Amino acid sequence: MVAERPPDRVPGTVPAAAVPALFGYRASKNRHTIMELFGFAAGDEQVRVDAEIRSVRAPGASDPERMSYLFPSSEQARRFADDAVTSFEYMGCVVETVSRPG
């Protein structure tokens, strides 16, 4: 079995609201947003996934950690997002589908 190479981490910012997200999720715990995850077309079938993660122990006390990952296909980006959503659900978060950042 060959392990898949991890996605490329790329610098990025959340696109303007006018750019439609291919998918988006928000995870919250005790009414505090813990994670936001959005996928955006990046050209040549690539998909960039932008994530903002906040501390469960200190919600609102610090800026979120922002990360972007570049995937060669929509299928791989969605698998990454599905795994992330499942992980946050296991940690007791409520996950909802959202259409845009913010």
Q: What is the pLDDT of residues 11-69, one digit of tens each?
A: 555 444 556 889 999 999 988 899 999 999 988 889 999 999 988 776 566 788 999 99
The C-alpha angle with vertex 11 and arms to 9 and 13, in degrees rounded to 5, equals 120
Q: Which are the contacts of 35, defined by CB distance < 8 A and separation ≥ 6?
A: 25, 26, 27, 51, 52, 53, 54, 84, 88, 93
The identity of residue 66, as a single letter, is: R
What tokens does 8 get?
């490329």
Amino acid at 7: P
Record the pTM: 0.77
The residue ranges of every structural domain in the chain are 7-17+31-78
Cβ neighbors of 16 (< 8 A, separation 6 or more) are none
Assess whether pLDDT exceeds 60 at residue 3. no
- What pLDDT is attached to residue 31? 87
